[in-house]
A and B are shown apart, each in its own frame.
Chain A
Amino acid sequence: MDKNISFTLKFWRQNGPKDQGHFDTREMKDIPGDTSFLEMLDILNEQLIEEGKEPFVFDHDCREGICGMCSLYVNGTPHGKTERGATTCQLYMRRFHDGETITVEPWRSAGFPVIKDCMVDRTAFDKIMQAGGYVSVRTGAPQDANAILIPKQDADEAMDCASCIGCGACVAACKNGSAMLFVSSKVSQLALLPQGRPEAAKRAKAMVAKMDELGFGNCTNTRACEAVCPKNETIANIARLNREYIWAKLKD
């Protein structure tokens, strides 16, 4: 059984994108170690509601590390620090120490305006996807699935790229607010597969153009993104995106 811990929780309150925002502080007592970080916040909210206060707002949904909705900046790291990389919902309180101060902040980036408290607006990612993150194929009658042979190695690599959950931790961690890891993961997935090749050049150009238009920063290869990615996407994807993009532009 895990021990219970007590700590000081500093959490960000902000009433809308224009509001200045500030930290609230609260002493949390006797939280069991096998509580997840979000369950700890549930406890916080239960206490706040009991006192007639508004609960602390944050995004969350599946709570099993796959939907990409949770987005908290915990103690200076997006999603909090774990060894293998995990989303906030998969962060457990046993990773914290008794008496420590835990600071919770929203993703801070111009691309992700705050809606309320730690809930941010990530629709920019959808817009980038809409610009070209797909293979144009009609529903209906494609060829038999096994008609396209894909070497296992390529399929596996494409799968790794496709694991991205679109949480935005990469943007949150990047000192330049760059979305390159997100964009490159999608471009890479489809660039690695024969199905994605016909549109590869168009896709790379369109997605990068949209990303730039939405005001995300330029990649300066600091690798902060891959260090915090809960799905372990790597900057090898960014190199591939660069390659795809440069070739596409040179061919124009």
Chain B
Amino acid sequence: MVKIDSKIPEGPVAEKWTNYKAHQRLVNPKNKLKLDVIVVGTGLAGASAAASLGEMGFNVLNFCIQDSPRRAHSIAAQGGINAAKNYQNDGDSVYRLFYDTVKGGDYRAREANVYRLAEVSNNIIDQCVAQGVPFAREYGGTLANRSFGGAQVSRTFYAKGQTGQQLLLGAYSALSAQVQAGKVKLYTRYEMLDLVIVDGRARGIIAKNLVTGKLERFSANAVVIATGGYGNTYFLSTNAMGCNVTAAMSCYRKGAYFANPCYVQIHPTCIPVHGDKQSKLTLMSESLRNDGRIWVPKKLEDAKALQEGKKEGWEIPEEDRDYYLERRYPAFGNLVPRDVASRAAKERCDKGYGVNNTGLAVFLDFSESIQRLGIDVVLQRYGNLFDMYEEITDVNPGEKRKTVNGVDYYNPMMIFPAIHYTMGGIWVDYELQTSIPGLFAIGECNFSDHGANRLGASALMQGLADGYFVLPYTIQNYLADQAIWPKVSTDRKEFAEVEKAVNDRIERLMNIKGKRSVDSIHKELGHICWEYIGMGRTKEGLEKGIQEIEKLRKEFDTNLFIPGTREGLNVELDKAVHLDDFLTMGKLIAYDALSRNESCGGHFREEYQTEEGEAKRDDENYFYVGCLKYMGSDAAAPELIKEPLEYEAIKVQTRNYKN
């Protein structure tokens, strides 16, 4: 059995990071000039890491699949970014942010990593403000905050509903400065297809130039992947169309462990699915839950009428509405963490209380807050979201429909949970290094900080923490003794072998010459995953899911059709490679879910719930990080290696959002 070393530094949790930095090895300035680092991905983590490493003096090669680094999907984050500044004087502190994150993650995160995250959160805000990120301000000129699900303090910094965009543009501008300075070389419309290992260390990648279709070799002293999550395995998700797991999968196949893939976050406030032509799900910012109230009808006949289109939401009187989150969780109400809110919605819909034609939607209602705050205030806060909702659904949530006994009824929004974020990812130690020496994983791509569930406004925090403040330090501990080795030539046989393997894979896909398009198979994979590996999982379901995916894999291998040739731009070919990896990823999620006989955070096994339908954790047997190791082929089941969790600072207890 492999023993896992997570390299957590000595000392009390609050001092670990300081201790680490004080004692880690550094690279002297001259040696930095000799060292090359490949960073794959230009989202918050990738761009900030590339910029920071370049600024320190390393030579950085930075890759992205889009036409510009600024397109990475971090840009779509709406709500905000957490930091323990306590500007609002509501009792926030680094410890509290740390505690909330561990608790929100259902006690499945590594304490030391989370504490570090909370610790550097304040630096992120300082850094971003210095870069010119236009965060919202109070009239006095100080920074404004809002509250977010899963927390009792206001610690979320925001820039309108476009926080992710502004933070990414900040990181992108820092990256641009380094490109200008000649320290970062940018490769846009390039996709990493495989990792090259030389003498047991990650020393390069094979990337495809998506425009010419040619494979190219790149060598470096370390490789950092910042390629995001695997949410698109489910086909319909809030991820961008291009988000994929190919880079991460290639590292996994080369020996990097994949940790906790079963922790998939389902976001509670997405616009419900409307038809089979849909290509993605649109997220409505979670901030809507600050003033919106979630409900379904109390009476089944009302729900039926809604489903048949005979009634509309505003017609249902106040007394017949079931504000089920406020009912079940009086302390947090509509602001319970995402997993809790999502499951509660599913529970109501499963019981038949769904409110749209598919029966898979609940209402999010602003009538009360509009009456309390006035339409102007509500529009000021959520106007752009209302507009967006109307554009998509043709329903205006700011439109008053009737007034009865002094109670105004507005059009409610319809929302439903959707795949949003993946807490699982490539396993990394405290230094963010994977189980392959010289290969690092940062941002959503790694598993490290969110445990089994991520709190709102924490993804941006983690991406930037990793990229600006953690990796640029920890990678030096690895690189410190690497400058003595000569540069690895891309003519070496290791590069040639990996390139050939990639080549063969592309040939194999091109030569299937079947009948079905990539998307049609991907949609099917999505259905299987949502059905069997989605919000409510069972042993039987998961086993069935694995079988179904295997069947689909056969269909893919024999009946896929990719038009065109492999020369030049071929979007379908690129999608086929992604799908090839999603098929393996789907199984990986299922295997992990199957091994975890408990319910926690984003992983809910229906066998393991309380009588009230709450998740039942099993700290006795499952208080560990599940690392999956590749066993030589995609068909073989991965080996499960456990990294036990050790908590010193926090007492593990049942999550309680009721009182």
Contact = CB atoms under 8 A, between A and B. Distances in A.
Interface string A155-171: 11011001101100000
A244 to B, nearest CB: 15
Q: Is the interface of A mostly helix, strand, loop or mixed?
A: loop
A69 B242 CA distance: 11
Given A42-B519, A63-B280, A90-B391, A145 B129 contact: yes
Given A126-B69, A193-B132, A146 B278 contact: no
Given A38-B279, A65-B388, A49 B563 contact: yes
Contacts of A181: none
B278 A39 contact: yes
B240 A149 contact: no
Residue picked from A35, A146, A149, most chain B C-beta under 10 Å: A146
Given A55-B571, A155-B136, A126 B186 contact: yes
B275 A134 contact: no
Given A129-B173, A145-B126, A162-B166, A150 B137 contact: yes
B569 A142 contact: no
A190 interface: yes
Interface in A67-108: 67-69, 82, 84, 86, 90, 92, 94
Contacts of B241: 60-63
Contacts of B436: none
Interface in B109-143: 123, 125-143
Contacts of B141: 149-152
B132 A189 contact: yes
A143 B75 contact: no
Interface stretch (B175-183, B416-424, B620-628): B175-183
Interface stretch (B13-21, B157-165, B333-341): B157-165
B172 interface: yes
Contacts of B165: 66, 163, 165
B517 interface: yes
A66 B76 CA distance: 6
A143 B55 CA distance: 19
Given A165-B165, A166-B70, A49 B517 contact: yes
Contact of B142 (A136, A143, A146): A146
Contacts of B126: 141-145
A221 to B, nearest CB: 26
B188 A126 contact: yes
B135 A55 contact: no
Contacts of B410: none
B134 A82 contact: no
Given A42-B519, A46-B517, A116 B283 contact: no
Contacts of A145: 85, 125-126, 128-129, 135, 143
A209 interface: no
A115 interface: yes
A199 to B, nearest CB: 10
A130 B179 contact: yes
Contact of A166 (B68, B72, B76, B188): B68
Interface in B364-388: 387-388
Residue picked from A66, A122, A141, most chain B C-beta under 10 Å: A66
A106 B188 CA distance: 20
Nearest to B469: A139
Contacts of A116: 568-569
Interface in B622-638: none
A69 B569 contact: no
Contacts of A195: 129-132
B240 A63 contact: yes
Contacts of A151: 137, 139, 141
A57 B242 CA distance: 14
A53 interface: yes
A138 interface: yes
A82 B520 contact: no
A38 B69 CA distance: 22
Contact of A59 (B67, B172, B283, B388): B67
B159 A159 contact: yes
Interface string A174-207: 0000000000000001100101100000000000
Contact of B517 (A50, A134, A140): A50
A43 interface: yes
B561 A123 contact: no
B571 A57 contact: yes
B44 to A, nearest CB: 13
B539 interface: no
A62 B76 contact: yes
B224 to A, nearest CB: 15
Contacts of A163: 160, 162, 165
B230 interface: no
B586 to A, nearest CB: 21
Contacts of B166: 159, 162
Interface residues of A, number: 82
Contacts of B559: none
A217 interface: no
Contact of A122 (B67, B75, B128, B174): B67
Contacts of B186: 126
B394 A34 contact: yes
Interface in B263-281: 274-275, 277-280
Contacts of B435: none
B66 interface: yes
A165 B76 CA distance: 11
Given A50-B517, A129-B173, A146-B87, A190 B132 contact: yes
Contacts of B279: 36, 38-39, 42, 63
B92 to A, nearest CB: 14
Contacts of A166: 68, 70
Contacts of B283: 64
Contacts of A54: 563-564
Contacts of A115: 211, 569
Contacts of A136: 177
Interface in A16-61: 16, 32, 34-36, 38-39, 42-43, 45-46, 48-50, 52-55, 57, 59-61
A228 interface: no
A119 interface: yes
Contacts of B160: 159, 163
Nearest to A194: B132
A32 B51 CA distance: 45
Contacts of A46: 517, 519-520
Interface in B295-322: 309
Contacts of B443: none
B67 A35 contact: no
Contact of A134 (B67, B177, B388, B571): B177
Nearest to A132: B180
B472 interface: yes
A49 to B, nearest CB: 4
B132 A135 contact: yes
A47 to B, nearest CB: 10
Contacts of A50: 517
Q: What are the nearest 6 A-B pairs in CB distance?
A: A149-B141, A134-B173, A142-B130, A159-B134, A155-B137, A145-B129
Given A62-B241, A130-B180, A139-B48, 17 more contacts: A38-B279, A43-B277, A49-B561, A53-B563, A55-B572, A57-B571, A63-B241, A67-B76, A67-B240, A69-B66, A126-B188, A129-B176, A151-B141, A155-B137, A159-B162, A162-B134, A193-B132
Interface of B: 48, 51-52, 55, 66-73, 75-76, 85, 87, 123, 125-143, 159-160, 162, 164-166, 169, 172-174, 176-177, 179-180, 186, 188, 211, 238, 240-242, 274-275, 277-280, 282-283, 309, 357, 387-388, 391-394, 468-469, 472, 517, 519-520, 561, 563-564, 568-569, 571-572
Interface of A: 1-2, 16, 32, 34-36, 38-39, 42-43, 45-46, 48-50, 52-55, 57, 59-69, 82, 84, 86, 90, 92, 94, 115-116, 119, 121-123, 125-126, 129-146, 148-152, 155-156, 158-159, 162-163, 165-166, 189-190, 193, 195-196
